[in-house]
Amino acid sequence: MQGARPGSFRPLLSVPIVLTLLFSQLAHSDDGIINRIEALQAGHSVTVLDSPLMAKQALTHFYEARNFNLAWGSYNARRQLAQAISEVSDQGLNPTDYHHETIAALALQPEGSSEQELQADLDLVLSDAFLLLASHLQDGKVNPQSIDAEWAANRYERDMHTVLDTALREDDIHQALQTLRPSSPNYQRLVSARRTLTTLLGQPWPALESKPSIRPGDNDPRLPEIRRRLMLLGDIPTADNDAQDEFDAIFTSERYTDELIRAVPAFQARHGLEPDGIIGRQTFTALNRLPVERIRQLDANLERWRWLPEDLGETYVLVNIAGFDMVLVRNGEEVQRQKVIVGGPYRQTPVFSDRIRYLAFNPTWTVPRKLMIEDQLPLIRRDPDYLTRMNFKVYQGWGADRMEIDPATIDWHSLSRDNFPYQLVQEPGPYNAMGQVKFMFPNQYDVYLHDTPGQSLFGRTERTLSSGCIRVEKPMELAEWLLEGNSNWSRQNIDRAIEMREPVNAVLRTPVTVHLQYWTVWVDSLGIIQFRNDIYGRDQKLIDALRMDAHGDLMPTPRRQ
């Protein structure tokens, strides 16, 4: 049925009839598409079917390449897109960002014909939804540098309009979108953990008073509620049918009994707390965290996974800054795990990826200017023997023309941020801040992994103690592994080089990728979900950015029950 000419009589059609006739002319070029693409190219905002078009550049490329023909004639393609959009909440994304209501209402109707303008609008909405979702699954919804300047993500280079064209030709929209997600098992574990946490939404979660603390053997009226939460969160296993009566008696007990003696330390450990079994302020804070808050935090970490390179490499070192640990992976297998010390809140360790190219044994430490003024100068003023005792040399000037200066001849109290013409270099030795080895991956942040003489600090639970670099608990084990296969650098040769106390470099035959990341939630290899404190205060800004809809409005958060 053809549409009537302007001004001519046309009988009114019911909505069902219009929708059943929606896609009759999809093989034809469309003026409605051309007009809207021209508006996007001119820099105008275009809203169709009450939805703003967001993927402006990709939409333009897509429709120009197909001579402005309509694209979504396949009912199966539309159905697959609708299904994929309905599932994106599992990825920590919001279906409403991708025209969910419009597509659910209009796109799943049988093919037919309708007004050309309605065809064009719906076609644009479908394409926009795919292109935007594809981009978010591959690169993330949020630009990380808009959240934190100390974050270098690894953005991909892929033409999404080509991806859409291929997916439509192969009639496999759902699979095309699936392949854009991170393929790492660690990402998939987070997705599964999110599904589990969503089953807790709607559960009552009243705030528990954090005082007084509860110790094993104590009686306390808060313990039944604590048991219930630990069971819901998986720290106390549910009872089988044969033991249900006994379990119910324990569940309602106000005494700190055996099942809590096992469960509380496990809960504390997976929240980065001291697993001492004492239910104190920090443990109550973790217990009081609403399920929706845990989900939001998990969503932030799913987004961080989408910022990572598609391939981490066969062999790599990965540091989780917020988790205070480092893992070494070879051919997909974890071969080493160590504790690390990272930068404090005011000297944050940046997030980026690079490659370890060489190791520096018996390194010197050239103190960065900021640390010279803020850290070293106050120590020198308080202790005139500090520089000599800690084996520092003082130089005036830089490069080959620098001159060594006797520190006793300098009036350190006259120096300031604007007047500090010196350079401090710590020689190799037992007091060197870099320890006996540095793992070098030259970068714009002047950050690297290194040894430290302060081994006792690794006994702390939260280790934000460096000036930005990463201190490694067992550096020689890492060095030996990285140099494996290099006949010049057996463990004996490493030990001999260190005994000489002279700087020497060991170049890796094959550089090893290093990823410095920031995860406050992850699922470990045993399937246990781990939560850590947001030591740099980065989660909330990212959570808010993820919850922004297409209009820039913040989605509401459910209240505590």
In order of their start, the domains of the chain are 15-181 (no CATH), 312-522 (2.40.440.10)
Residue carrying structure tokens 């078009």: 53
Catalytic residue flag (residue 44)? no
Q: Per-residue confidence of the chain (561 residues) as pLDDT tens digits?
A: 333 333 333 333 343 333 333 444 444 567 889 988 999 999 899 998 888 999 999 999 999 999 999 999 888 999 999 999 999 999 999 999 999 999 988 877 665 545 566 888 999 999 999 999 999 999 999 988 887 777 776 666 678 999 999 999 999 999 999 999 998 899 999 999 999 999 999 999 999 999 999 999 999 999 999 999 999 999 998 765 555 566 666 778 899 988 899 999 999 999 999 999 999 999 999 999 999 999 999 999 999 999 998 888 889 999 999 999 999 999 888 999 999 999 999 899 999 999 999 999 999 999 988 899 999 999 999 998 999 999 999 999 877 788 999 999 999 999 998 999 999 999 998 889 999 999 999 999 989 999 999 899 999 999 999 999 999 999 999 999 999 877 789 888 999 999 988 999 999 999 999 999 999 999 998 899 999 999 999 999 999 999 886 555 555 555 555
CB distance 107 to 126 below 8 Å: yes
**Nearest 10 degrees: CA dihedral of 275, 281, 287, 289?**
-130
Catalytic residue flag (residue 450)? yes
In sequence order, the β-bridge partners of residue 516 are 319, 352
Measured CA to CA, the distance from residue 422 to residue 418 in angstroms comes to: 12
- Which residue spans within 437-492 are E strands per DSSP? 437-440, 449-450, 464-466, 470-472
In sequence order, the β-bridge partners of residue 394 are 405, 424
Q: Which of 100, 136, 450, 515 is catalytic?
A: 450
Measured CA to CA, the distance from residue 176 to residue 187 in angstroms comes to: 18
| Distances, alpha carbon 255 to alpha carbons 219, 259, 280, 503, in Å | 4, 11, 16, 61
Measured CA to CA, the distance from residue 225 to residue 251 in angstroms comes to: 9
Measured CA to CA, the distance from residue 225 to residue 231 in angstroms comes to: 10
Measured CA to CA, the distance from residue 147 to residue 38 in angstroms comes to: 33
Retrieve residue 313's tokens.
């490499």
Q: Which of 61, 136, 271, 469 is catalytic?
A: 469
